Amino acid sequence: MIVVTGGAGFIGSQVVSGLNKRGRNDVLVVDDLADGKKFENLAVNKIADYFDKTDFIRLIKKRDPLCDKIEIIFHQGACSTTTEWDGQYMMENNYAYSKALLQCSLEKSIAFIYASSAAVYGTNSKFIEEPQHESPVNIYGYSKLLFDNYVRGLNADIGSQVVGLRYFNVFGPREAHKKSMASVVYHFNKQLHETGALNLFAGSCGYADGEQCRDFIFVDDVVNVNLWLLDNPRISGLFNVGTGRSHSFNDVAKAVIDWHGTGKINYISFPADLKESYQSFTKANLTKLRKTGYEKEFTSLQAGVSAYLETLNAK
């Protein structure tokens, strides 16, 4: 049996779809459906069972016989709201929860692949999986880094597969429930339909209007990395998952406008409350990931945006 936490969410539900395409329907999804609209991400997949996060973690902590049936845990569940400042909630949801799952996985020799984040790098200019480049600027990034460091501290005692994947800016279908945290592609498409114009931040931190840059990665590529690790159980470690390319928000806006054949760009004032906690530039260093033998090419920005917009606008 395969467990996917956050399996009703954006990346988690896409991982379940990837497993289904391989003929794996023995998937137990763990999530929190307080937002019932996420059922749509569940309904498109075939699963063996569903557990609420609270119920599942209770079973894990008491080492229920269910644990002996688990082959691998894809731990995608987390609070990914970078503007959330409730530290107690964030640490319980992202850190303590992850520790409990990991401890059970190690005891039972269950493979454990979890979602970390490029937010651990903060405003650094190098994105290499080493402590000297890690300095988060929000509690979300810190919760992810703390767990990465917890895993690092256990490395000598780890005998089964444990992998942390530092996702960069992921975009693609099934992210609408994330609301303000959905990708700029989603928001640009919505803005274009509503007003005919896309809103980008004006210049900040030395960048011109709309020229802040991120490593935007299509969700299919993220799924491919996760499933490749399922096929390669001897690989463990902490790896960046981005394209290794950086594009400006202007680039993304242009790709959306080109696809629609219409639209204009408005530049709005950069929010004062984000100035100290905003990443103006990200670009994944893929050296470690490539050294594992992962050779698959990543989707270009234009191809990813086009594929996503086709899905969004078909609805």
Domain CATH code at residue 10? 3.40.50.720
Say yes or no: 95 and 205 in one domain. Answer: no
Number of independent structural domains in the chain: 2
CATH of the domain at 262: 3.90.25.10
CA distance 291 to 224: 16
Say yes or no: 123 and 262 in one domain. Answer: no
Say yes or no: 181 and 226 in one domain. Answer: no
Say yes or no: 157 and 10 in one domain. Answer: yes
Say yes or no: 32 and 63 in one domain. Answer: yes
Q: What is the pLDDT of residues 32-47, one digit of tens each?
A: 999 898 999 999 999 9
| Catalytic center residues | 140, 178
Q: What is the pLDDT of residues 209-239, one digit of tens each?
A: 999 999 999 999 999 999 999 999 999 999 9
Q: Report pLDDT for 315.
A: 65
Tokens of 225: 């990395």
CA distance 143 to 125: 21
Say yes or no: 42 and 123 in one domain. Answer: yes
Tokens of 160: 């089964």
Say yes or no: 118 and 263 in one domain. Answer: no
Say yes or no: 192 and 143 in one domain. Answer: no
CA distance 249 to 247: 7
- Residue holding tokens 């996917």? 4
Quote the DSSP letter at residue 64. Answer: -
Which residues of the chain, if any, have pLDDT below 50?
none
Q: Which domain holds residue 97?
A: 2-171+217-244+284-299
Say yes or no: 93 and 34 in one domain. Answer: yes
Say yes or no: 201 and 295 in one domain. Answer: no
Say yes or no: 52 and 124 in one domain. Answer: yes
Say yes or no: 149 and 293 in one domain. Answer: yes
How far does the chain reach from its first CA to its final CA, in angstroms?
A: 33
